[in-house]
Amino acid sequence: MSGEWEEAELPVGYRLEFRETVESTNDEAREAGRAGVEAGWVLVAERQAAGRGRRGAVWVCPAGEGLAFSVLLRPEEGKALWPRLSLAVGLAVAEALERFGLSAEVKWPNDIWVGGRKICGILVEAGEDFVVAGIGINVGVREFPGVLDQSATSMAIERGEAPPRVAVLAAVLERLQVWAPCIGGRFDELLRGLRERCALTGKRVRMNAGGVVLSGEVAGIGDGGELLLRDASGLRKIVQADEVRVLP
């Protein structure tokens, strides 16, 4: 393992593996899930040749500047509750970033924003009896190419310097250990944390929900974790949507 990661002190229950290059840490973790590897396996990669984002997007991050990893989970809660893990991971990352002095918001369902710019992307994928939480955090990135220059940020940009990536990893895993089990019984606590950090509440937005383009004002997050959108027809509960755009 490379020096930086050898020293990693992770919360009890996690096992870290580091690889210099993979196609996608999520693909590797899914493979591990299918092969019966125990929950708590964490794969960090310096480079992803085919890093994946939501909705088929690519996820690119320069080696040494990003933190790309996937965590294998085997939730005890029923499968119907697993989609809530997307929210749990988002809250875990937001709280972890706060430990480094950043004021992080969750852009429903789980992009993490600082100062209105994206600092972290999350891709949660379920298998037959496991879930993979894939997380990409812009830690040390100083410059973003093209349009990302206007829409992305990093811990280095926001804080003036990048924290050690192992410390960021450990903080996320620690918070994940708190929030992942809350998708069942203590979901109200998870919702409280999310509502406090919701980047969209009160904003006018446009989105594509199941092929229908909707626009309106976000009223908040509902009791099931859905986005509440107020438009001409009343209050809609949005369970899934493509890119939610904030309107000027």
Residues near ligand BTN, by CB under 6 A: 24-26, 48, 51-54, 57, 59, 68-70, 111, 121-123, 134-136
Q: Which is nearer to ligand BTN, 114 or 236 (CB)?
A: 114
Q: Least distance to ligand BTN from the beta carbon of 166, Å?
A: 16
Q: Least distance to ligand BTN from the beta carbon of 118, Å?
A: 7
Q: Are 182 and 190 in contact (CB under 8 A)?
A: yes
Q: Least distance to ligand BTN from the beta carbon of 7, Å?
A: 21
- Give 235's DSSP letter: E
Q: Are 68 and 59 in contact (CB under 8 A)?
A: yes
Q: Least distance to ligand BTN from the beta carbon of 72, Å?
A: 12
Q: Which is nearer to ligand BTN, 52 or 84 (CB)?
A: 52
Phi-psi region of 56 (alpha: psi -120 to 50; beta: other; left: phi over 0): left
Q: Which is nearer to ligand BTN, 59 or 113 (CB)?
A: 59
The residue sitting closest to ligand BTN, measured at its beta carbon, is 121
Q: Which is nearer to ligand BTN, 52 or 165 (CB)?
A: 52
95-132 b/e with 16+ CB inside 10 Å = b?
A: bbbebbebebbbbbbbbbbbeebbbbbbbbbbeeebbb
In the numeric block, which tokens belong to residue 29? 């973790």
How many CA atoms are closer than 13 Å to the CA of 23, on its beta-carbon side?
A: 6
